[in-house]
Structure 1
Amino acid sequence: MNYLKVALFVALCFGFVATAQQKDYTQYVNPFIGTSNFGATHPGAIAPRGMASVSPFNVAGPQNVLEKDSRWLSNPYVNENTFLTGFSHLNMSGVGCPDLGVILSMPTTGELKTAHLEYGTTYKNEEAKPGYYSVDLDKYDVKTELTASTRVGVSRYSFPAGKANLLLNLGLGLTNEHGAMLKFNSPTEIEGYRMVGSFCYNNAESAYPVYFVARISEAPQNFGIWDKPATYEGVEAQWMGYNGKTRLKEQFMREVVGDSIGAYVQYDFEKPTQVVMKIGVSYVSIANARENLDKEVGDASFDEVYEQTKKAWNDKLSVVEVEGDDADDKTIFYTGLYHTQIAPSILNDSNGEYPAMKTRATKKTDGTRYTVFSLWDTYRNYHQLMSLLYPQEQLDMVNSMLEIYDQNDWLPKWELNATETFTMVGDPAAVVLADTYQRGITDFDVEKAYSAMLKSADAKENNPLRPGIAEYIDKGYVSVDSDVAGPVSTTQEYNIADFSIAQLAEALGKKEDAKRFTKRALSYKKLFNKTSGFLQPKMSDGTWYEPFDPLAGANFTENPGFIEGNAWQYLFMQPHDIKGMIKMMGGAKKFEAKLDALFAEDQFDMANEPDIAYPFLYNYLPGKSYKTREKVADLIDTYFTNKPAGLPGNEDTGTMSAWLIYAMMGFYPMTPGEATYTLSAPQFNKVTIHLNSDFYANDTLVIQNVSENPTKVSAGFSIDGKSIKKQAITHKEWVNAREVIFE
């Protein structure tokens, strides 16, 4: 009997485990969130951290004709658009500048047309979930379904009976690079490359190829190529054509090179037929694209690929379990978590090879080489979240940044596919490296990292990461007549980086460096004008820049002192010196009044990074923590919804989603470079975080909100039964806790 009880107990336990593992978290993800209101996400199919993604491409229709660089569009899809011209296989998500959106497939029926405005169509019945997208094309009565593995995009087209075409367009894209190549290896395999790399329409001379191999499941009756405006097929150009009967000629292997080229295959179906196209991609070579295709997908069916990708998404999303009655809250939370797993994305091929910085020579990694480091955005909260929820990924990102340093002599600023875009200001990599180490993720060459940080912090000449550094070191600020963009913002960013270097120096026992950089980190005070009550641009001779308008610079308008913001939105951006900032502004009451005015006068911008931590500043004022909880709850309700416009603006490669995830879990990493959290209030009854046991001694952290009204929870909370009164909780305390109760 005892053995039976044990057997029954074991069976029940395994049953519960299986049930937990089988829970489908993808049901809570709505990939359409962020596809409106300039969120710059897309609803296409992608695997976690995928190199390849297959997205509907609807930004080249009659309502917004996209002929190369005629319009600034940073993503392939906008929810309000209604005209679709294909499905692109390399895309970015949540960025503020255009690039990629290339290698477009498109099913059509009837007469062959190769101009996108002629073959494009309206559409209906869109469906999107992690790893899957489908749509019905009105003009052709074709259902298109998309899925993807890490480096392969897979499309399934359900054609009606009759004449049909499948196009592969290498001419369309989001930016103005020139050049592509393709050739048929057989009637069902096409290989080639497409030039990309003009991020923000700059540095076009650094364009580089992305390679592909495309395979089609059904042999066509005919196929050929077009080189705008001419089309070549059949007997008119036999070396490019094939009629299904004649022997393939040797000349057929000839490559076609051009700017607006494409390939097509043609069918005449006797009955409705499904055709599957698989496209493997690589930034190294055609051979690697083929290897990626063979290794990741091979002969697997569309459904098999989708099921594997769905499982991969569930593995990622199940790291956090939330409990509550509001279905929309769960959807916006898990969609946020989904968005954080798109970028940074994987650059290396399945064999470990990737292109090196500068030379694009082939290198090989034993781990994962990540790319799309939008660090001005992500240093503030995103990488802290990765350290908590996905520490192995964060470690690989740090090692990727150090590989970039080895190859490029400088840490990354805004790296994309092994090119440095030099977008935005500051020295954000220093913050990420220091913060990661402070959180106990230390299995990287910290001495190399520290040396790299010192190089960017101290090199006065030919310093691409810190323009104006010599003046900053000498005077404590960058002047408005220094020809450095946004000198006040730049000074503040250098301060935050220097604070982070000081924290790492202290941890490494480098006491003199710690003192030096701590002092440098406080130089923002030299730009505070007591008369105006703001940080204000200064001339190189030390006089204040006039005329000064604290409202100028909002909504991306020009301001001589600031980048992407105005004096209001940068006023409190000293999270490393909150006490000093309060004192500088005249004490807690005056500080609170100024912070209140920021919100009351509608100067807080939830859609941009400099001020997104400001709601949490009330926690540092005696008796005012309730304002943090109220502001955070109100911001979530106002800006994050289960709708296409459900983000406050540009998703910024996971930064806005990281803010949301932290805010909904009830805590936030207030000070980049310092491993601490400040508290707000969980938006769920219960949050369970499954910690990575390779990095943390504790495997589970449970956060419970026992208040009747979660958004109005009182100030009291406890960790493992011990009441806590302090403002900041260390990361170590947090990950070692078993249970946190807000009550």
Structure 2
Amino acid sequence: MTKISRALVFGLLAFSLTSSAQKKKDYTKYVNPFIGTGGHGHTYPGAVVPFGMVQLSPDTRLEGWDGCSGYHYTDSVVYGFSHTHLSGTGIADYCDILFMPTTGKPQFKNTDYSSPFKKKNEFASPGYYKTTLDKYNINVELTASTRAGMHRYHYPSTKEANIIIDLKHRDQVLNSWVEIINDHEIRGYRESRSWANDQHVYFYAKFSKPFKAYGIAVNDELQDGLKKAEGKNIKLYIRFDNPGQVISKVGISSVSAEGALKNLDAEMPDFYFKKVQRAAKTQWVNALAKIELEGGGPEAKEEQSAAYGYGRPSDTKPADVDYGKRKRTIFYTALYHSMLSPNIYSDIDGQYRGMDQKIHTADGFNYYTVFSLWDTFRAEHPLLTLIDRKRTLDFIKSFLAIYDQQGLLPIWSLASNETYCMIGNHSIPVIVDAYAKGIRDFNAEKALDAMKASVNRNQFGLDSYRKNGAVLADKNQESVSKTLEYAYDDWCIAQFAKMLNKPVDYNEYIQRAQYWKNVQNKDNGFMQARVNGDWYKPFDPNEVNKNYVEGNAWQYSFLAPQDVNSLINRMGGKAGFSAKLNELFTTTAPLTGIKQSDITGLIGQYAHGNEPSHHMAYLFNFTDDADKTQFYVNRIMDEQYTDKPDGLAGNDDCGQMSAWYVMSALGIYNIAPGQQQFQIGLPQFESAVIHLENGKKFTILNSGSSVARNNIYLQGINLNKKAYNKLYLNYDDIANGGEFEVFTGRLANKIFMQDLEKSTSNITDNLIVPNPTITLLKTFAPPTQAEIKSNDMEADVIYYTTDGSTPTISSAVYSKAIPVTSKMIIKAIAVRNRKSSFVTEANF
């Protein structure tokens, strides 16, 4: 192709891509990929397209908790640029197939070939990254398609321009190989173990110019004449003679080197870097424009405040900062982070490596991996169910394929490995929420079978949960958290069974959905572990201990989103519940017990840096103090998110921390995915237009935020130009399109709030009788005695035995403390209206 015709083709293509992008507003200018790369956000700044298989990014940190993504903003040395990265996780993995341009004699130890770099030379935007390697005076640019990455290196004048390819980088290598195909092409493979026990990555690389020399190092020693090598420490170099600019394009696959080549040729048929970069940007323009914002606050003169970490308004020390722009930056970066994972894992031809490590073909859908479900079921998946329904359907089809391959739904699926990380079975609420909201083009009967198989296995205390109505702490760690999250998953199964007209399944699982009552101490309102028939003692609600997952009793005592009204009743009604919830946010008591790095973003004992707290500010909507939802949601957004590298309160956890901000800034939040109700919070922008896949638009207006920044309380609500009297929106209100408008002011309008209809989250079918407790009393003189107490809000009759037999309604009725003798086994049940609790057992 002549230079003229090539320029013409490139120009027409660029015009086409630009014209396509102009159809939608370009919000990529508000995305700052460095947000979350500092502090404990664990994000990366490199080049990626929405949900892409390739995340081409610099690696600056090889170990440590804050090196989980391979990059930390405070670092000043880069080891190279690898093709896979995890966004916001709390465990390290990926960073596969490292490329590093160098000059001079090839070096194979990362401490030798690494280079310093300066922050002032770094730049990142959606789909693009660049930096300068100070050691070599090489300018590096990166961009990506879905399954391939492209590097552009600008070398100084030198006859020794190298690219080091390191297959040993970071993780434990189980096996690897590399092969020189010709002077333009290389292919290879790496099998590694880290968080994923057995990860397979094939790659195929092509170079825009022929390399003049190459060498393969085995165990860091060059081997003469090798064109192919295999082992656990394989590295190589290729050398160009004064090339000026070299472009490398690299396809990856979990299936084969041939699959990587197919991916590469399909997505990057040429070496036009700008074309790939523009195409990546166009994907991001289209993705981010699903939510179009305007406003967010007037341009204000502000000062930097160390207390908040970013600009605050001031009348006395002005500095030119556009507060509205900063809020839009936080929002669109959060939306961007919400679209980084899960990641496509199937090749361009549909092939992928399954959980059984066999090669499968996805028929009519993309197969995905990186499902951080304990985190993302709460806000990220409900967000995607609103704005990316086709992809959500692909997620569900991926879940069912995983079920076919491993016999249960994914818990934390990574590179077709089940990590079993975190607790619960939270692909279930993702499926149920999607089905409830009309995403139904999948085998629902099979999905129900998969759900039941997943929660009825004997693993992680599920057997104790089914046998005792709670996971008991005697033999199971994290028992309180497991009970609560299992109960929520069971509620989801009940809702799914109800939609499928399965009354037997519904009755079973709606009863199990209430097992949270068996770990809630009605006397103090806290969720506590059960040990030997009694509550775990000594009890300190501030203590982080083995009974909870990354939290304490404060951070788990409001985790029954499927049954909030019952939770309220068991905490003394609306007033008592509201007081307890307010104490969560206002207590000055510090954390005690185990030091847990995930518990961050504290407001009182509310921990926004970790997911179990994420719905709690919205629970005031169920009380007569709904204005506190607006107050605390606004405070969380204001204090826990900034536009700085450390602008996230904790790990982004594959986008959950960011998705919470997106939903909350829109002013709607689903506290229990599977429910149709979105809690109304506090919209942050004058206008937010959600473009739905059915072609309709749902517009959210805040008619107060442009007046004053302190307008954080609702004064009035309209839906489609008519007064609206509810504190929640139904999903259909959004899906049908329309206009939702709130009016805000500086002072809480409690009269208006009390007149609004509250949301309901209440289980009324097949009610359980909570398990009684058996407590050994402290007495000054023998005999030692045991007390049996009901844990129900209503009067129960308690029956017990002391000979180890199972109590029935024919057993002794408890009326006073029981003398305890050596080796006695006391068993008790609580009965109301001829319905029994589970058996509580204490061994003395």
TM-score (norm 1): 0.88
1:196-243: CA deviation from partner (whole Å, max 9, x where unpaired): 3421xxx74xx13210011111212211111233123xxxx2x23xxx
State whether structure 2 residue 454 is matched by structure 1 residue 456. Answer: yes
Q: Which residue of 2 aligns with 1:600?
A: 586
1:45-72: CA deviation from partner (whole Å, max 9, x where unpaired): 0111111121111014xxxxx5xxx877
The whole-number CA distance in structure 2 between the counterparts of 1:330 and 1:576 is: 33
Structure 2 counterparts to residues 703-722 of structure 1, below 5 A: 703-707=700-704, 708-709=707-708, 711-722=711-722
Q: Secondary structure at the match of 1:212?
A: strand
Give the one of 455, 460, 467 matched to 1:474.
467
Change beyond 3 A, Cα 1:626–1:362? same
- Give how far 1:258 is off: 2.0
Answer whether contact 1:55 1:89 (CA < 8 A) is retained: yes
Q: Tell me how large the CA RMSD over aligned residues is.
A: 1.8
State whether structure 2 residue 575 is matched by structure 1 residue 589. Answer: yes
- Give how far 1:261 is off: 1.7
State whether structure 2 residue 529 is matched by structure 1 residue 537. Answer: yes
State whether structure 2 residue 561 is matched by structure 1 residue 570. Answer: no
Answer whether contact 1:176 1:198 (CA < 8 A) is retained: yes
Q: Which residue of 1 aligns with 2:825?
A: none
Q: Which amino acid in 1 is paired with 2:667?
A: G
State whether structure 2 residue 90 is matched by structure 1 residue 96. Answer: yes
Q: Which residue of 2 aligns with 1:107?
A: 101
Between stretches 390-399 and 471-480, larger displacement belongs to 471-480
1:273-304: CA deviation from partner (whole Å, max 9, x where unpaired): 10011111000000000111111102141111
TM-score (norm 2): 0.78
Answer whether contact 1:576 1:671 (CA < 8 A) is retained: yes
Give the one of 477, 499, 504 matched to 1:485.
477
- Give how far 1:90 is off: 1.4
Q: Which residue of 1 aligns with 2:621?
A: 619
Q: Which residue of 2 aligns with 1:129?
A: 125
Q: Which residue of 2 aligns with 1:654?
A: 655
Q: Secondary structure at the match of 1:167?
A: strand
Answer whether contact 2:167 2:235 (CA < 8 A) is retained: yes
Answer whether contact 1:536 1:545 (CA < 8 A) is retained: yes
The whole-number CA distance in structure 2 between the counterparts of 1:72 and 1:30 is: 19
Answer whether contact 2:149 2:249 (CA < 8 A) is retained: yes
Give the one of 269, 274, 293 matched to 1:303.
274
Q: Which residue of 2 aligns with 1:32?
A: 34
Q: Which amino acid in 1 is paired with 2:688?
A: V
- Give how far 1:257 is off: 1.3
Q: Which residue of 1 aligns with 2:491?
A: 499
Give the one of 210, 218, 224 matched to 2:209.
218
Give the one of 313, 332, 340 matched to 2:284.
313
- Give how far 1:532 is off: 4.2
Structure 2 counterparts to residues 621-700 of structure 1, below 5 A: 621-622=623-624, 624-693=625-694, 699-700=696-697
Between stretches 706-715 and 640-649, larger displacement belongs to 706-715
Give the one of 74, 79, 82 matched to 1:85.
79
The whole-number CA distance in structure 1 between the counterparts of 2:546 and 2:72 is: 32
Answer whether contact 1:100 1:175 (CA < 8 A) is retained: yes
Q: Secondary structure at the match of 2:236?
A: strand
Query: Structure 1 segments of 4 or more deviating over 6 A?
Result: none
The whole-number CA distance in structure 1 between the counterparts of 2:59 and 2:386 is: 35
Between stretches 659-668 and 471-480, larger displacement belongs to 471-480
Q: Which residue of 2 aligns with 1:726?
A: 726
Q: Which residue of 1 aligns with 2:47?
A: 45
Q: Which residue of 1 aligns with 2:540?
A: 549
- Give how far 1:327 is off: 0.4
The whole-number CA distance in structure 1 between the counterparts of 2:568 and 2:523 is: 16
Q: Which residue of 1 aligns with 2:394?
A: 396
1:485-530: CA deviation from partner (whole Å, max 9, x where unpaired): 3000000001100111111122122223223222211121121224
Q: Which amino acid in 2 is paired with 1:264?
A: Y
1:319-356: CA deviation from partner (whole Å, max 9, x where unpaired): 01000140011111111111111100100000111112
Answer whether contact 2:168 2:234 (CA < 8 A) is retained: no
The whole-number CA distance in structure 2 between the counterparts of 1:164 and 1:77 is: 28
State whether structure 2 residue 239 is matched by structure 1 residue 266. Answer: yes
Answer whether contact 2:101 2:164 (CA < 8 A) is retained: no
1:241-279: CA deviation from partner (whole Å, max 9, x where unpaired): xxxxxxxxxxx4xx211222211112331xx71001111
Q: Which amino acid in 1 is paired with 2:701?
A: Q
In structure 2, the gaps of 5 or more residues are 1-18, 299-323, 588-603, 744-844
In structure 1, the gaps of 5 or more residues are 1-16, 61-65, 241-251, 554-558
Q: Which residue of 2 aligns with 1:328?
A: 326
1:381-401: CA deviation from partner (whole Å, max 9, x where unpaired): 211111101111111111111
Give the one of 228, 231, 236 matched to 2:219.
228
Change beyond 3 A, Cα 1:612–1:322? same
Change beyond 3 A, Cα 1:193–1:72? farther
Answer whether contact 1:52 1:151 (CA < 8 A) is retained: yes
1:164-215: CA deviation from partner (whole Å, max 9, x where unpaired): 333343344443233211010112211111113421xxx74xx132100111
The whole-number CA distance in structure 2 between the counterparts of 1:18 and 1:50 is: 20
The whole-number CA distance in structure 2 between the counterparts of 1:170 and 1:640 is: 37
Q: Which residue of 1 aligns with 2:199?
A: 208
The whole-number CA distance in structure 1 between the counterparts of 2:203 and 2:249 is: 10
State whether structure 2 residue 264 is matched by structure 1 residue 293. Answer: yes
The whole-number CA distance in structure 2 between the counterparts of 1:20 and 1:113 is: 46
Q: Which amino acid in 1 is paired with 2:574?
A: A
The whole-number CA distance in structure 1 between the counterparts of 2:354 and 2:425 is: 21
The whole-number CA distance in structure 2 between the counterparts of 1:446 and 1:600 is: 44
Q: Secondary structure at the match of 2:241?
A: strand
The whole-number CA distance in structure 1 between the counterparts of 2:114 and 2:122 is: 16
